[in-house]
Structure 1
């Protein structure tokens, strides 16, 4: 004799959870509750036709719209009508009803899956990067994408931004801090910004920012190495650059030292921007794709000292007709020399930890002030630091244009004096 099903209770039904596949909870007398993977709960009842056959179970309603007590009554009615040959939900109709219920459940599940994908860290971070790209310099965007794609997405790419918590992010940042502390700090900054983006999209409540401030261990940070207090050492740097065997790298480093422009801007200099006769370099604030060329996004003009013009004329003889002033070196994927090539050259010349290409900006800011007495406002204007407001920015561009021409020639002459004050040592590449 088959074992009779134990009748269901409201508590059992309310606690029934979705599983990976549909399953049924029997109530007895042919009635059962089918729980779908999406969590939907549907009443089905088995019955016999007058010829003794059992057609497809009839779907009689969904819980909780149809309660347990009501489902039992309806099950008795279906079985009674079937026995009398008055089945209102025949086999085909019941099958269609079941298929319709499954289709609705499947549509709901697909919709939920699409929403989860849209709200995933992978998708939100991708939209965040796309939104930031027009306002960032190419190198800033490249670094952010590296951190997001290589460190964050592999760990938390599938995390739902609607429910993401600090505890979900902490292990990733702590692991990064142990191996790449500087990138970990960037990653923490990026995660905070990505969460803000999710809030702006309406995926999270306004007050749901993560608590990331104290996650990482405190580390001692410093500025990029630069010679700022030793004239003799800066003279050594200039002598080494002058003797460098690679004329492309040499010219790029000379341009960086005499204009104090950022290394990425120097490396990507275009001939269309440079007027050798006027001795000017007019740098557009934006790249053709709309991303920032200058950090401020504003057009900038710097004068070119006589020594910089000489170095550029040498390059003009080599690359006239090309788009970029400094062509790429062996195996480089960029259309121009990589800014990393400039930093690598200084390291190979023996200045690792002492001076970088970016360090010429600090050298001008400090030694230009202390040795040449250049006004601070003029120095800030030459370094293209963002003024406090637009009025001040316009004022600085107009007021200091000619003054900057004078002081940058004086700075180039000062570098020449330092270079000539000692013996020139030919550069030899380290093994």
Structure 2
């Protein structure tokens, strides 16, 4: 004949005294109150794990933080899981790990990991531009959100103010960078798919236009205007340096004396400052 356990009362739980050795009071169906020699009282559920049938104890917390009614509710939830062959201890650990991952894997933290890879494939100046744009337009608004909770509507709402200002090139770049971060999250197993794949369709495309130029016969007038322009002398020298070397603005602005070969009138631009990551030589007259 099965042994019948009399359920505990609130008075029994409250008045249970410490002894020289720890002991248990049973409420039935595996729920126990363990009283330790120091007087602390812990709720435990003793159960058989699915499949292995190994007996284990699942802690529910301390009394009185967890009342008798609370403990019984937790017991009922655990027994519901067991009825479905789900181990309540593994289930709780899974939820805990998921919550921890959500806290750790925010958009900002994942972006930092992505950027460590990205910056090795671009020039330092371009890498700085990438990160600055995210710091300005993205991180203050959704940087603390878990990567798993970033959706297309959330991203579109974040980018919309930039589009409203007419900065469509910036919108295009932010879209691209967010998609790269999300693809990185997919490839590193943080999310199952990239929900931002089609967000560019929510914004107007920037109009393509050629950069403004001047004709060769207009160059003398330009140089005269440059010589009397109200600008810093270093800016004037930079423009003249570009005209002499036909270098990109970032390359010209980053030029160092150590890169100039005065004997051969050559400027050696290091590979890490070139767009295609290869060294370049320019004649300097």
Within the alignment, does 1:147 sit opposite 2:147 as a pair? Answer: no
Distance 2:116 2:181 in 1: 12
User: Residue 213 of structure 2: SS of its match in structure 1?
Assistant: coil
For structure 1, list consecutive stretches of 5 or more residues without a partner in the other structure. Answer: 1-29, 32-44, 61-70, 79-87, 287-292, 307-431
Larger radius of gyration: 1
Higher relative contact order (CA 8 A, sep 6+): 1
1:235-274 counterparts in 2 under 5 A?
235-243=220-228, 246-274=232-260
What's the offset of the Cα at 1:90?
A: 5.1
Corresponding residue for residue 171 of structure 2: 184
RMSD over equivalenced CA pairs, Å: 3.5
Deviation at 1:89, TM superposition (A): 4.5
1:202 corresponds to 2:148 = no
Measure, in 1, the Cα distance between the counterparts of 2:180 and 2:116.
Answer: 13
Structure having the higher strand fraction is 2
Is contact 1:46-1:54 (8 Å) kept?
Answer: no
After superposition, give the CA deviation of every residue in 1:37-88 in whole Å (9 maximum; x if it has no partner). xxxxxxxx54555xx96439x897xxxxxxxxxx8x538xx8xxxxxxxxx8
| Counterpart Cα distance in 1 of 2:153 and 2:232 | 51
Query: What's the CA shift string for 1:222-267, capped at 9, x where partnerless?
Result: 233222xx33433322222345585433332222012110111111
Q: Is the 8 A contact 1:196 1:209 kept in 2?
A: no
TM-score when scaled to structure 2? 0.67
Structure 2 residue runs without a partner (length 5+): 1-5, 18-23, 45-57, 63-88
Matches within 5 A, 1:2-401: 46=9, 48-49=11-12, 54-55=15-16, 74=29, 89=33, 91-92=35-36, 95-97=41-43, 100-102=59-61, 111-179=97-165, 180-205=167-192, 210-227=197-214, 230-243=215-228, 246-286=232-272, 293-304=273-284, 306=285
Confirm or deny: 8 A CA contact 1:285 1:297 kept in the other structure. Answer: yes
Alignment-derived partner of residue 65 in structure 1? none
Residue-pair matches, total: 230
Question: For 1:301, what is the secondary structure of its paired residue?
Answer: strand
Query: TM-score by structure 1 length?
Result: 0.46
Structure 1 residues 225 and 118, CA gap change in structure 2 (3 angstroms)? farther
CA contact (8 A) 1:59 1:97 kept: no
Using the TM superposition, give the Cα deviation of residue 154 of structure 1 relative to its aligned residue in structure 2, in angstroms.
Answer: 1.7
| Residue-by-residue CA offset, 1:121-169 (whole Å, 9 max, x unaligned) | 1111121222212222233222211221121112211322224321221
Residues 1:182 and 1:207: Cα distance change in structure 2 (over 3 Å): closer
Residues 125 and 148, structure 1, Cα contact 8 Å, conserved in 2? no
Give 3-state SS (helix, strand or coil) of 1:249's partner. helix
